[in-house]
């Protein structure tokens, strides 16, 4: 057999509460990330991602508490991203119970951060997260550029080249979020997935654009090892089991 395609719900957490509302039955408190994490675990999620969207550094401690409480009761891998800037940030989150740490903006500003984290904790904990959009014609070789500020600000950095370099520096996984596809519910950006797949040998997680179960198999076909989605799961439009059924039907191994 072979390793299963992973299906990963992503929760945006602000000051200890899930934002971008969640519409689930059978929850006492749909805003509690710990309770939601447990619900997704029961639903068959292979992994969970918490994205800390807290603007205030004074609320970072709240996120640590969320990670701690999740690790106490949910026994599937947990990735935490958002606001990670230093090796010390990574250490703190790992000690709280995170298994993998997503790094985004801080690595654009200072790529050596990736090597520092990988050297200290191993590349298996390090996820390089990229928010990518199609670049104005002729500005990047691949046609894709890395953005910051939720896709609003271009960096001029070639996204495919940055993914390649990130993996070389020590990222053990690439989380590829298409800002063009994000929110469209029109499907993943297959061209972007394929372009990054061709230049890295670490796992690639596809994100952005999922709107129907049928959107998931093409992302795997384009080269992704895992698929991440938020709103389609949170609003109950799709269940993890439905996505897995469609993946299985397309010939991909699932748990």
Partner 1 sequence: MTGRPDGGAAPGGRRRIVVLDYGSGNLRSAERALAAAGADVVVTGDLAAAADADGLVVPGVGAFAACVAGIEAIGAGPVIAGRVAAGRPVLGICVGMQILFESGDEHGVVTKGLGLLPGSVTRLAAARLPHMGWNTVQAPVGSVLFAGLPADSRFYFVHSYAVGDAAALTASGARVTTAHHDCDFVAAVERGALSAAQFHPEKSAETGAALLRNWLATVPAGD
Q: Check: CB of residue 219 under 8 Å from CB of residue 196.
A: no
User: What is the DSSP-derived secondary structure letter of residue 214?
Assistant: G
Would you say the C-alpha torsion 107, 59, 154, 151 has a positive or negative sign? positive
Does residue 131 carry a catalytic annotation? Answer: yes
Contacting residues toward partner 1, per CB under 8 A: 1-6, 41, 46, 68, 71-73, 75-77, 94-97, 99, 120-125, 172-173, 201-203, 225-226, 255
In the bound state with partner 1, the residue whose beta carbon lies nearer, of 69 and 133, is 69
Cα separation values, 163 from 39, 194, 241, Å: 32, 12, 30
CB 205 within 8 A of CB 229: no
For residues 235 and 37, is the Cβ–Cβ distance under 8 A? no
State the pairing for strand pair 173-178/78-81.
Answer: unpaired
223: tokens are 């080269």
Q: 12, 46, 158, 225: which one is catalytic?
A: 12
Distance of CA 217 to the CA centre of its chain: 18
Smallest distance from the beta carbon of 166 to partner 1, in angstroms?
Answer: 14
* Strand, helix or coil for residue 173: strand
To partner 1, the closest distance from the beta carbon of 183 in angstroms equals 27
Nearer to partner 1, 13 or 117 (CB): 117
Least distance to partner 1, CB of residue 75, Å? 5
Of the pair 48, 179, the CB lying nearest partner 1 is at 48
14, 131, 158, 182: which is the annotated catalytic residue?
131
99 catalytically annotated? no
Provide, rounded to whole angstroms, the least separation between the CB of residue 228 and partner 1.
13
Q: Is 11 helix (H, G, I), strand (E, B) or coil?
A: strand
- The nearest distance, CB 160 to partner 1, in angstroms, is 18
**Which residue, 130 or 181, is less far from partner 1 as judged by CB?**
130
Pairing type for strands 17-18 and 173-178 reads: unpaired
C-alpha span between 183 and 167 (Å, rounded): 27
* Comparison of 2 and 57: residue with beta carbon closer to partner 1: 2
Q: How many Å apart are CA 85 and CA 162, to the nearest integer?
A: 18
Which residues are catalytic, by number?
A: 12, 131
């Amino acid at each position: 057999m072979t390793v299963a395609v992973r299906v990963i719900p992503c929760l945006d957490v602000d000051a200890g509460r899930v934002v971008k509302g969640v519409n689930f039955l059978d929850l006492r408190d749909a805003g509690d990330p710990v309770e939601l994490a447990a619900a997704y675990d029961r639903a068959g999620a292979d992994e969970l991602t918490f994205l800390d969207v807290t603007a205030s550094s004074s609320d970072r401690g709240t996120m640590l508490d969320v990670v701690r409480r999740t690790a106490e009761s949910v026994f599937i891998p947990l990735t935490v991203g958002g606001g990670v800037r230093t090796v010390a940030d990574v250490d703190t989150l790992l000690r709280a119970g995170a298994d993998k740490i997503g790094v985004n903006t801080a690595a654009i500003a200072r790529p050596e951060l990736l090597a520092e984290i990988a050297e200290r904790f191993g590349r298996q904990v390090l996820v390089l997260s990229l928010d990518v959009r199609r670049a104005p014609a002729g500005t990047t070789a691949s046609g894709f550029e890395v953005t910051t500020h939720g896709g609003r600000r271009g960096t001029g950095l070639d996204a495919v080249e940055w993914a390649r370099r990130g993996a070389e520096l020590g990222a053990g996984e690439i989380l590829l979020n298409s800002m063009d596809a994000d929110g469209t519910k029109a499907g993943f950006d297959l061209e972007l997935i394929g372009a990054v797949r061709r230049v890295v040998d670490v796992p690639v997680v596809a994100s952005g654009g999922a709107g129907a179960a049928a959107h998931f198999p093409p992302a795997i076909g384009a080269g992704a090892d895992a698929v991440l989605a938020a709103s389609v799961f949170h609003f109950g439009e799709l269940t993890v089991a439905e996505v897995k059924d469609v993946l299985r039907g397309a010939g991909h191994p699932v748990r």
